[in-house]
Amino acid sequence: LPMSVKTKEELINKLKNDEIKFEKLEIEIEESLLPIYEHEKTIKTTKQKEKENNKYKVSELEWKVEDNNGKIHEIRKLVIHGSRLDELKKKTRERHLQKTEEMLKNLKLNKRDLKSRKEIKQRVDKILKKYNTKEMIEVKIKQKLQKIKKQIGKGRPGPNTKYKEEKRYIFELKVSRNEEVIKEKAILDGIFIMVSNQSKEEWSNERL
């Protein structure tokens, strides 16, 4: 079940406040879901690998839904955590963060089409959007005064050459990670929701 922004916020708050209690979940792998040509030994190996590599835990929450006629229906809402999904989310986020930092570091500021604050901001926003790291990476565009000593007149510099000082403003980026946002996003790593209108007797958690 896709999670809306509201659902994510509610889950994060519940997890922060330790309101969701997980129980270990042993997933039953249906043999009927495996390819028909797989023999018994392969099926056992597949089951064993699944158990070893992916650990699940579940918490069942109350969820009541009202239909158009005003009738209340109790739906089973299962919050499930998978260890492999958790690991995948963490690795993907870290990869995106590192790629964002690398791209920002390699920007050639104060040259060509990156000479103004507006141009730089547009490029920065494009990178953050590409890797979906806008909230996790903070970028400040700093303006700095640079002093340049420039020779007066033409010719090769000598002991009597005179210079003048010119000033110009250049831009630089200050990039940092928003650890609070990253930490909050990590709360939902490995979490997904499943719903069912069947009772536990009809369809156990292990078979969902």
- At 150-175, the pLDDT tens digits run 778 787 888 888 878 778 889 999 99
Please check whether residues 132 and 70 belong to one and the same domain. Answer: no
Whole-angstrom distance, CA of residue 103 vs CA of residue 98: 9
Please check whether residues 75 and 131 belong to one and the same domain. Answer: no
Position 202 in a domain: yes
Instruction: Indicate whether this model's pTM tops 0.85.
Output: no
Please check whether residues 40 and 25 belong to one and the same domain. Answer: yes
Position 18 in a domain: yes
Q: What is the pLDDT of residue 17?
A: 87
In the structure encoding, which two tokens stand for residue 59, read together? 């918490």
Position 102 in a domain: no
Please check whether residues 15 and 80 belong to one and the same domain. Answer: yes
Total count of domains within the chain: 2
| Domain that includes residue 53, residue range | 5-89+185-207
Position 122 in a domain: yes
Q: What is the pLDDT of residue 63?
A: 77
Which tens digit of pLDDT belongs to each residue from 61-81? Answer: 877 777 788 888 778 888 889
In the structure encoding, which two tokens stand for residue 65, read together? 């839904």
Position 20 in a domain: yes
Please check whether residues 140 and 202 belong to one and the same domain. Answer: no
Please check whether residues 116 and 164 belong to one and the same domain. Answer: yes
Q: Is pLDDT at 26 greater than 50 in this prediction? A: yes
Q: Is pLDDT at 43 greater than 50 in this prediction? A: no
Name the one residue in this structure whose structure tokens are 């928003």: 178
Whole-angstrom distance, CA of residue 109 vs CA of residue 86: 37
63 to 1, 158, 196: CA distances (angstroms): 14, 85, 10
